[in-house]
Structure 1
C-alpha cells in the first residue's frame, strides 16, 4: 500500500539538508503513527458535537420559524458526500505522511502554497475564536450561577478558555486524542438529555415552527447544503494533517467509514438539536437557548460544562493544528511557538460579531464566503493527485527548494481565482460552483497554457510541454 512509508528510512537523508524545517512538517514514519481506528472515530465525533454545528442548525430559524421543514432539513443534511471528500483528500497524507501545507506544493508550488495555506489557516483561526467565545459564554453561565450573579463577564471567561486551550495544544496530537475521546462520550450523553427535554416540553412549538413549516425546496434548501459542505470545507483540505497520524494498514474504504460514521451520527444529531433549540426559544445562540430550555441552575451548570468541553474538543481537532502548521512553514518557528501564536491570533477574531441572539446569519455568510476559495483549492488538489499524476508522487521533491516545485504554478493560482470568481456569482451555492469550475479550469490550463511550466513534469501533460 505504502511504498513511501516502507522506504522512508532510506530517504530520510533527503530531508536532513533542510536545517530550518521544523520536525512537525517532515513526513510521519510508521513508527510515529499512534492513533488507532477507534480513537480516530471518537476524534471526529468530538469534532462533530460542537456548538458551531448546532449554531448552523439554528441559522435555519429566522423570526422564530424555520426556513426549511424537517424533511427538507434532513434531505439537505443527508448529502453525506463530505465523507467522500475526506477519504479522497486524506490519501496522500496517509500514504506519505506529509502535512497539508506540504501537499499544497504539489499543485501551487513552494511560493504559491503560501497564498493557499493562508486561505486555510485564517478561517481556522476565526473558527478557533468563535468556538472559544461559545465556550466562554458557557463558562460565564457556570460562574454566574455559582456566584449567585456576582460575576458576569464573558470576556474574561473567553480569555480563560483560550489560555487553557493553548496549554493543552502544546502537548500535540496525543493530547488531542484523549481530549476527544472524553469529550465525545460526555457531550453525546448531555445532548441526549437535552433532546429528551425538547421533545417532552417543547414538542408543540417545534412541530409548528419546524416540523410542519412550509419551508422551501428552492435556493434556501441548496444554500443550506452549501453551508453544510462549506462548514467542513476547511477540514477537507487538511485531511492529510489527521490521516498522517493514523496507524498504517487501513484500506481506503475503511478510512472512508471512519469519517462517514461519526459525521453522520454526531453532525446530524447536533444539527437537529440546534434547529429545535432555536424554534423553541427564538434565540440563535445555543448557550443562551440552553439556559432557557433547561430551567434549572444545577442542570444548566452541567450542560454548560459540556459545552465548554465541546468547544475545546473541536478546536483541538479542527482549528489549532492547520494554522499552526501554516505559521511554522511561513515563519520557520517551532511548532509549539506557532501553537501559542495561533491562540493569540484567535483573540483578535471578534467571534461575537458572527452570531447575535436573534440570528446566526453572520456565521452562515462567513462559511459561504471562505468556502468560495476552499472549494476550488480542494478541487485542484484532487485533480492534481488523481487525474494528472495518477496517485504517483516523489515526496522528496516537495521538500527541495531548488526542485521541480520551486516557485509558483500559475495554472493553479489562476484556476483558484477563476473558481472563486465563479462562486461569488451565486454565493449561496459558492462551494459546489467553485469545486466544479476550478477543477475544469485547472485541467484546461495545465493542458493548454504555460507550455514550459516545470509543474507539468510527472503529469499526464508532461510530453505535451
Structure 2
C-alpha cells in the first residue's frame, strides 16, 4: 500500500518501526519536533553559501582580456533565468525530503534501488569530499597570510593552518545543522557587509571604466549567454540534487511556494552581489583573480587581512552547507557508522584528498576534467528523481519500504542506471550545454525504459506503469 504524504503530514511516531533496526538516527525520517531550522535561518544559510570567492570568480570570468563577453543587461538576464531554474528545481526536489523527512541517500532508493543508490550517492559524496579539501586548503592558505601579518612573518606554514581549519570545521560539523544555522548567519552578515563596502568603493572610484568595459559592452545573446547560464546551473547542480538533506531540517508548516521563495531570494541576493562585484573588479583592473583585484582596488595596508578573512569565512560557509553533510550521510548509510564518526571520517578523507595538488597550475586541467565528468551525471540523476516522484509515482511513496534492504526497492533498477548513463553520454556531446542536455535526455530515456523495457521489473510496482509489469507482487 502506498501512502501520499501531504506537506503537513510529517512522520512523527514509531520511528524505529519505520526504518528498521541498525539505522543511525541521522538517516531516520525527521519528525516535526526535531526540525530546528526556521525560515530566516534557512534564508541566511543559502546567502552564506552563495557569497564566496568562487562565485565572485564566476562573475569575473565574464571579462576576458579586458573585453566583457556579456554586458550588464545580458549578465542579469542570464542570472535571473538560471536562478529561476535553480529555485524551481530546488523547490521540486526538496518536497520529498520536506514532506517525509528522509535524506537524499534514502530518496535515491526510490529510483535506483538499495544497491543502485550506492553508485548515485557516491557521485554526490566523492566530489563533495574533494571540494571540502580544496576549499579548506584555500581557506588555510588565507589563514596563513593572516598569521604571517599578525606574527610579523615569524609563522609561515600553510599545511598547519589547513589542518587547524579542518579540525575547526570537523568540530563545528559534529553539531550538525545546529552549527550550520549560526555559522551561516554570522558568515553571511560579515561577508555581505564587506562586499557592500567594496561595491561602494568600486562605484566611487571606478564607475567610468566599469561602465565602458562592462555596462555598455556589446556582449552576446548567443552561445556565451547560454553557456553562462549552464555554468551558473553547474555551480548549484550538486546542492539542489541533495535538496532533501536541507529541507528535512526546515520547520514544518511552510508551503511549497514559500520554500521556493526561500531559495530564490537568497540566491538573488548572494549571487547578484558576488557576480556583480566580480565583473566590476575584472572590468576595473583587467584581472580575473578577485583576490589580486581586491588588493589593487582597495588601497589599504590591511587589505591582505581583509581579503584573507573573507576567503576563510567563505570557505567555511560553503563547506558547512555543501561539502560536509552529503558525504557524511553517504558514509553513514554505507558503513552503518554513527553520524559523528562519519563526520570525522569525512573531514579526514578531505585532509587526505591532497588539495594542495589541485591548486597547482599543472593540475588545473585535471581538476577541470574531474568537474566535467561528475557534473555530467548530476543533471541526469536529478531528472530521474523528479520524474520518479512526480510523474511515475504521483507523489505517493511508502516511506517504510525505502528503509527495507530486502523490501520492494532492494537490488538495483536497471532503467535508472541506463537512463543516467545515456543522459551523461549525451551531456558530453556538447559541453557548453551539458547540464540541460543531460536533464532532458535522461528524463526521456527513463520514461521510455520504465514503460517498454524490463517488463518483469519490480520497480514498476506503485508507478503508472505497474499494469505493464509481468510480475507484480
User: What TM-score results when the alignment is normalised by the length of structure 2?
Assistant: 0.92
Aligned to 2:21: 18
Aligned to 2:290: 286
| Pairing 1:167–2:171 present | yes
- Alpha-carbon shift at residue 61 of structure 1 (Å): 3.2
- Alpha-carbon shift at residue 336 of structure 1 (Å): 1.2
- Between the aligned partners of 1:221 and 1:4, the Cα distance in structure 2 is 37
The 5 Å alignment of 1:287-306 reads: 287-306=291-310
- Alpha-carbon shift at residue 96 of structure 1 (Å): 0.3
Q: Deviations over 1:53-84 (max 9, x none)?
A: 11222233333433322222222111121101
Q: Deviations over 1:389-413 (max 9, x none)?
A: 0000000000011111000000000
The 5 Å alignment of 1:67-106 reads: 67-79=69-81, 80=83, 81-106=85-110
Structure 1 stretch displaced more, 227-236 or 9-18: 9-18
Q: 1:8 is matched with which residue: 11, 32, 49?
A: 11
Aligned to 1:109: 113
Aligned to 1:55: 57
Aligned to 1:42: 44
- Between the aligned partners of 2:431 and 2:336, the Cα distance in structure 1 is 36
The 5 Å alignment of 1:121-160 reads: 121-160=125-164
Q: SS in structure 1 opposite 2:114?
A: helix
Aligned to 1:328: 332
- Alpha-carbon shift at residue 122 of structure 1 (Å): 1.7
Q: SS in structure 1 opposite 2:270?
A: helix
Q: Deviations over 1:168-224 (max 9, x none)?
A: 111111011011111111110010001112222333443343334343322222111
- Between the aligned partners of 2:306 and 2:65, the Cα distance in structure 1 is 29
Contact between 1:294 and 1:300, CA under 8 Å: does it hold in 2? no
| Pairing 1:395–2:430 present | no
- Between the aligned partners of 2:80 and 2:175, the Cα distance in structure 1 is 36
- Between the aligned partners of 1:152 and 1:3, the Cα distance in structure 2 is 56
The 5 Å alignment of 1:263-282 reads: 263-282=267-286
| Pairing 1:313–2:317 present | yes
Cα 1:263–1:23 change in 2 (3 A) is same
- Alpha-carbon shift at residue 309 of structure 1 (Å): 1.6
- Alpha-carbon shift at residue 130 of structure 1 (Å): 2.8
Contact between 1:285 and 1:360, CA under 8 Å: does it hold in 2? no
- Between the aligned partners of 2:248 and 2:176, the Cα distance in structure 1 is 14
Q: Deviations over 1:382-431 (max 9, x none)?
A: 00000000000000000011111000000000000000000000011110
- Between the aligned partners of 1:23 and 1:105, the Cα distance in structure 2 is 18
Aligned to 1:257: 261
| Pairing 1:28–2:30 present | yes
Q: Deviations over 1:218-260 (max 9, x none)?
A: 2222111111001100111110101101111111011110111
Q: Deviations over 1:241-285 (max 9, x none)?
A: 011011111110111101111011111111111222233344444
Q: Deviations over 1:348-379 (max 9, x none)?
A: 4455666679x999877655443211000000
Cα 1:275–1:361 change in 2 (3 A) is farther
The 5 Å alignment of 1:167-246 reads: 167-246=171-250
- Between the aligned partners of 2:51 and 2:29, the Cα distance in structure 1 is 30
Q: SS in structure 2 opposite 1:110?
A: coil
Contact between 2:237 and 2:378, CA under 8 Å: does it hold in 1? yes
- Between the aligned partners of 1:362 and 1:172, the Cα distance in structure 2 is 32
Cα 1:414–1:353 change in 2 (3 A) is same
Cα 1:294–1:47 change in 2 (3 A) is same
Q: What is the Cα-based RMSD across aligned positions, in Å?
A: 2.4
| Pairing 1:456–2:466 present | no
* Structure 1 gaps, min length 5: none
Aligned to 1:406: 410
Contact between 1:397 and 1:404, CA under 8 Å: does it hold in 2? yes
- Between the aligned partners of 2:10 and 2:250, the Cα distance in structure 1 is 18
| Pairing 1:66–2:53 present | no
| Pairing 1:385–2:417 present | no
- Alpha-carbon shift at residue 346 of structure 1 (Å): 2.0
Cα 1:305–1:361 change in 2 (3 A) is same
How many residues align? The count is 464
- Between the aligned partners of 1:417 and 1:311, the Cα distance in structure 2 is 32
- Between the aligned partners of 1:199 and 1:340, the Cα distance in structure 2 is 45
